[in-house]
Structures are given as C-alpha cells and as structure tokens.
Chains A and B, each alone.
Chain A
Amino acid sequence: MRRRVFAVGLAVVLVGLAGRGAVGQEDIRKPLGQAVKAKLGMLNVPALSPLYLLPEYAAKYNVQVETIMFQRFADARTALASGDLDITAFGPQDITLAVAQGATSLVGVAGVGSGNDCLVVRKGEDVKDWKQLLDKRIGVGAGSISWLKFAASVTEHGVDYGKLKVTNIVGGGANYLKALQGKEIDLAVVWQPFCAQGILDGYAQYPSLDHNASRAVGGLISVLAVNRGFMDKHRDAVQRLVVAYVDVLKVAQADPRRWSKIYAEKAGLPEPVAAESIRITTLDPTLPLASITRISKFLSDNGVITRDVSGEIARHYTYDFLARATGKSPAELGQHK
C-alpha cells in the first residue's frame, strides 16, 4: 500500500514538474504584457548579421529593439558599460577588458560562434610557416579578437610576438586591404568580410596559416552581452531577447543562402563577398566559459590588462537565460569548454 502511495505521489510530482517545464517554455515565448524598449548595438560583421533579424523576432514577444550601428567593438563595449546600450555583441575578450578596469555592468548571456576572423596575404605570396612571419610586415587591429588569436597562435608556435614587424591599423578593414595592395604590409590580421573582398577582387588569398585554433584563445568570435542594470530591471525582456536571438541563429544556420542575402543587403556588399564571408563562420549560441577564462588569463599574462580577472570572470556571465531558451544545462551550453 505504502509503495503504491509513494509511486502515485512520485508520478504526480513528475507530471507536475514536466508540466511546469512546459509552462516555463510557454512562459518565455509569451509576449510581455507591457512593451519593453531595448537598444541593440550592432556591427557590420557576418557573424553578427543574424542580429539584423532580432528586432523582427523580438517584436513577437513585445520587445521593441532599436538598432544602433557601431564601427568597433570597443565603442559598443563602452556604450554597454555606461548603459547607453541595453544589449550588444562584442569580442569574447571585451567583458574581461572591462572587468579589469573595474566595470561590473556587463553580463555575457550567450555565445555567437567561431571562425569569422581571418588572415590574408597578397595572391601568390602564401605564408606556410609561423617563423616566416618574422620577415613580414603585419597589419593588426590592437585589442580585436583577431589580434588576440594571432598573438596567441604566434606565441604558441614559438615566435616572439615582440620581434614581429607589426603595424596597428585602425579605421576599418578597407585600410588593411589598401595597405596590402600598396605593399605596405605583407599580411593582414583581420576579419570578414575584408578577407573575402580581397580574395574576390583577385589580389589576395588566405595563407596556409590559420589563427583560429590557438589553445589559449580558440576560435570564438563574439559574445552577446546585456547591461546589468537593464537585466535586473527587465529580466523577462532579456529572457525574450535571448529566445529571439536563439531563434534568429537557427534561421541563419538552417538557410545559409538566406543568411548570406540578409548580410549582403544590410551590409551593402556584393552577394559573392557575403557568401564567402559567412563560409568560414559557424554560428553557435553556446558560451564556452572555460575558453573565455583562458582568454582572460592570456590577457593578464601578457600585460594587456593589469589585473588577472580569470578567477572572477565567471561572475560576469550567466547561463540562466540561455538555459531556459534552449532547454539545456550550463554544462551542455559550454560551461566547461
């Protein structure tokens, strides 16, 4: 008798929990009772281009997204930290950089994927060995994730970064390509769509080296982050934004041609350039926290930041929203990767 009562009780609890889960999923897809406005920081890079669809998808949940364009991750980071933005995507190193300066207002909520960053050389001037870089003039964008990947890859392959002839080029990828064409640099450490532009214009090629696979930094492109004040005030809206974000990533993953078209249209690029740009980009909302921790350690070990924040960086990321949006556990979403 006792056993039967226990079994029935257990069944009731399980059904209740399952039902609650279902209701939870319904809840996060239910439009908000009152509209919430959110400012989204956006950059014209292929990995982030699915975010162009976010306003449309978030509107289904009664979250009104206003998109604000930026030229650099650094500007988006500053705007998010100061509360001028509510949500944006930037480099996986950006929260670390901000935390090292004492900023606590940034919270990472999802990943973006891998790839996107690329090396490019003049056509016919391949670089096959990392040691060859010592003779090359290299254009980088200091502080960018592409630069970090490059610095980590170079170091891991036994080349002293300090001995490289590195020039910091700012003001967008067009300047890198111009410098490459003008033979002022021999290799550009950039990101898409700039590699694709040079390649499809016929004067550039990818070298044999790939800087997307270093142990310290990995291939991560970007993270989606929210302002902590906005998150504390509008948790339901953030949840719906993450749900909408996962939805738009699925749309792009399922139909790369559509993704490419959206990117070409929004960025004003020829379709072949957009298609080549997204070819080396893998979209993935998982958040590899161990990798971000390694990036943080790399930044402090190399003196970019003055304080090692790798031990505390996990406090500036949350899996709450992504776990609910995907129905997966933090471990499944990359907590230990």
Chain B
Amino acid sequence: MRRRGPWFLLLPVLLLVVWHLAVTRQWVAPGIIPAPAQVAESWYRWIFGKPGLSLSPYSGTWLANVLYSSRRVLEGFLIAAAAGIPLGLFIGWNRLVARVVDPSIQLLRPVPITAWLPFSIAVFGIYDAGALFLIGLGAFYPIVVNTTHGVRDTNLLLLRAARMLGAGEATILRKVVLPSALPSIFTGLRLGVGVAWTAVIVAEMIAVKSGLGYVLWDAYYVGRMDICVATMFSVGLLGFLSDRVIHGLSRVLLRWRALEAHA
C-alpha cells in the first residue's frame, strides 16, 4: 500500500521559501515586508512574551486578543445563525415570505461589510455593538441564502409521502424539510463563519480596544508589519479551526447521509 505523504505542506513550504527569498534577496524594497523568521520571532513574543511596556501591546497579549475576537465572532455568528436559519426556512417554504423578503436580501447582500461601517458607527456607536452588527450581518447572508436553497431542494417525493401520511405543515417543516436542508444549512454556516472572521477584522478596526483586528491596524499604524502578518496568520488559523469545528458537527448530525449512501 502506498503511504500518503504530507502533501498539504508542499504549497505552504514553497510559499515560505519564495517569501524568504523575496525579502533576503531584496526583490521587494527592504523594510516593507518582514522576513518569515522575523514574523515567527515577533509572533512567538506576542504569544509567550511578558506583558510589555504600556505603549507596546505586542508582548504576551496574543491569547487575550484571540479570545476577544473569538467571542465577538461567536456572538455575531450565533446571532446570524439564529436569524438566518429560520428566515431561510420560511423564505424557502412560503412563497409570500419569499416575495416579500427575498428581494430585499438579494438587494442588500452585495453591499460589502466595509460600506456598512459609517452606518454602524452612526447607529450603534463605537465599541462592541457595532462590531457584533457587522459580524452578524456578514455571516447572515450565506446562512440565509444556503438555507433557502436547501429548503427549495427538498425532494418532492418526500413531501408528498409526508402529506399522504397526514403530516401537518409544521411537522413536515420540522421532520422533513429541516433535515433535508441541513447539508445546505451547514454549507451556509461554514461560509458564514469564514465571513465572520473576515468581518471581525473590519469591525475591530473601528474603535474597540482589543482583538486581532485592532492589533492588525494598531501594528500597521506604527509600522509593525511583522505583527500585521502574524495577525493575518492568526485569523487564518482561527478561521480554519472554526470551519473544522462546524464540519465535525455536520458529520455527527448528518451521519444519516453517510448511512443512506451505504444503504
């Protein structure tokens, strides 16, 4: 049997080598992009260093900032899921709701999160409420659109069978449509959590005094590109882990699909 090698490492390692060469051989102007080793060193200090001087938040504060951002992402994401899944179910299930609500969602969906910034500040002010609004809004669209799609894709034979067996609308929605739409809902949740991590950077650049987005912009203003890059990796890593969690959850909840496939 042929052994599977760690092929997934090939591209990142290659990119690291190109990045290292670009900096050390000065393919880019010196001091603009930090070398990978510099980023690793600063990241290590950011995670494990002793809390620094008052004007320097880049020593020993990584975990605290990760927790701040994670909390905001989780809260915003949960708000988006709580609003997006039921709304998506109703849009997909009921034509009247679809006619009334769907056009507005499709109209607002292309507006980027950054365009909502001034509105968010004006309505929610600075601090957490504005951040939650932006994160929630960003995650909401993929969740609602995918849920709607999942409901509309429900197998008609299943619906007819349920009706013939005397099931009411609520029962059909709960016992037939929802399970059938779950794969699409999970796709929406996975996309939504990715957008939530994107939105947290935008949200935290407004005014909050914590979180990875805050650190990224703060570091940029004082020319610490090494910390900017470390923040980008941190966000990528956390986004990846969040996706794995939702993916794992979907595998547990959608086990019936695997069993169905084997049947």
Could you tell me if B53 and A303 are in contact, using CB atoms closer than 8 angstroms?
Answer: yes
For the complex, give the distance between the alpha carbons of A243 and B121 in Å: 44
B residues in contact with A98, CB < 8 Å: 31, 223
* Interface magnitude class on chain A: 35 or more
CB-CB under 8 A from A83, the residues of chain B are: 29
Chain A stretch 95-115: residues in CB contact (< 8 A) with chain B: 97-105
* Known contacts A168-B209, A304-B222, A305-B222: A104-B30 contact under CB 8 Å: yes
Q: Let me know if B30 and A144 touch, CB within 8 A.
A: no
Once the chains are docked, how many angstroms separate the CA of A302 from the CA of B30? 24
A184 within 8 A of B: yes
Out of A94, A167, A170, A305, name the residue touching B217 (CB < 8 Å): A170
* Chain B nearest CB, measured from A176 CB (Å): 9
Q: Which residues of B contact A182 (CB under 8 A)?
A: 125-126
Q: Which of A48-56, A158-166, A324-332 contacts B (4 or more CB under 8 A)?
A: A158-166
B30 contact from A74, A78, A102, A184, Cβ within 8 A: A102
A179 to B207 Cα, complex, angstroms: 9
Which one, A104, A151, A179, contacts B55 given CB within 8 A? A151
Chain A nearest CB: distance from B223 CB in Å? 3
Q: Assuming the A-B contacts A101-B223, A168-B209, are A179 and B125 also in contact, with contact meaning beta carbons closer than 8 angstroms in the complex? A: yes
Q: Is the interface of B mostly helix, strand, loop or mixed?
A: loop
- Chain A residue contacts of B190, Cβ below 8 A: none
Instruction: Closest B residue to A106 by CB, please name it.
Output: B31
A105 touches which of B31, B55, B125 (Cβ 8 Å): B31
Contacting B31 at CB < 8 Å: which of A81, A160, A178, A303?
Answer: A81
Q: Which of A103, A175, A185, A301 contacts B206 (CB 8 A)?
A: A175
Q: Does A77 belong to the interface (CB within 8 Å)?
A: yes
Please name all residues of chain B whose beta carbon is closer than 8 Å to the beta carbon of A151 when the two chains form the complex.
Answer: 54-55
Contact with B along A272-291 (1 / 0, CB 8 A): 00000000000000000000
Q: Is A82 an interface residue (CB 8 A)?
A: yes
Known: A103-B31, A167-B127; 13 extra A-B contacts, CB below 8 A, are: A81-B32, A83-B29, A99-B31, A142-B218, A142-B222, A143-B218, A162-B53, A166-B209, A168-B214, A170-B221, A171-B205, A303-B59, A304-B222
- Residues of B participating in the A interface, judged by any CB pair closer than 8 Å: 28-32, 34, 42, 52-56, 58-59, 117, 121-122, 125-127, 205-209, 214, 217-218, 220-226
Q: What would 22 A/B residue contacts be, using CB atoms closer than 8 Å? A: A74-B221, A82-B29, A94-B223, A101-B225, A102-B34, A103-B31, A105-B30, A142-B221, A143-B223, A160-B54, A169-B126, A170-B205, A171-B117, A175-B207, A178-B121, A178-B125, A302-B55, A303-B52, A303-B59, A304-B56, A305-B223, A305-B224
